[in-house]
Amino acid sequence: MDFNIFDPESNIYKIAEWLTKLVLANFFWVIFSLLGLGIFGVMPATAALFGIMDKLLSGEENIRIFKEYWYFYKKYFIRANIIGLILLLIAIVLYIDLDYFRNRAGWNNILIKYFIYLLIFFYLLDLIYLFPLLIKYEIKIRYIIKNALFYVFLTPLEVFQIILGLALLAILFYFLPSLLPFLAISLPVYWMARISRKSISKVESKVMANMGDKS
């Protein structure tokens, strides 16, 4: 490995440049989240962050982080907030149902309680592909939410990689909490975007192959 930090072609220089972009992206996520007063800013800011990561992963150089952030933020502001509202309503319903059946006796209530736990599990899995699909396809919101769960079942290995990576990052941040202000959001999103990008391409290839076989 070339450790010359002043050589733009050296590996250490590229790593430093990559980390700088992640730190900037993390900073702007906070700024744009606050711009929407938190409640209306988090979802479009996160969508914008996935958009930035997708550009980085596509190999685009000299990305102007703020300009691209602002572009994606405006583009997905309405759609991302609608998705956020739907997810919030689903979460509230699941919480109310679980709270109702949690301490009730009877085998039927126990079955319902564990069924709700299963729904919560699928709800959390659905979150993995929501933003990657949002920035990838111009489709109706209900299809984004539905297809996100389909992708989970179609790419179990990649889903495991995402969850494992997020768990390792959580351990990293636990032992190095000083990294949280700089990479707490951007680094996990980068990992999710990296794996989901491959997953989406994998599914697209399968779909194209099946269409070719049918024709």
Task: Give residue-wise pLDDT tens across range 75-86.
Answer: 999 999 999 999
Q: Write down the pLDDT at residue 17.
A: 84
Please determine, for residue 186, whether its predicted confidence score (pLDDT) is greater than 90: yes
Q: Is residue 120 part of a domain?
A: yes
Taking the C-alpha atoms of residue 36 and residue 69, their distance in angstroms, rounded to an integer, is: 14
Q: Write down the pLDDT at residue 4.
A: 55
Q: Is residue 4 part of a domain?
A: no
Taking the C-alpha atoms of residue 150 and residue 76, their distance in angstroms, rounded to an integer, is: 22
Q: Is residue 179 part of a domain?
A: yes
For 128-142, the DSSP string reads: HHHHHHHHH----HH
Q: Is residue 3 part of a domain?
A: no
Q: Which domain holds residue 100?
A: 11-214
pLDDT tens digit sequence for 164-178 = 999 999 999 999 999
Q: Is residue 146 part of a domain?
A: yes
Count of structural domains, the chain: 1
Q: How much is the pTM?
A: 0.89
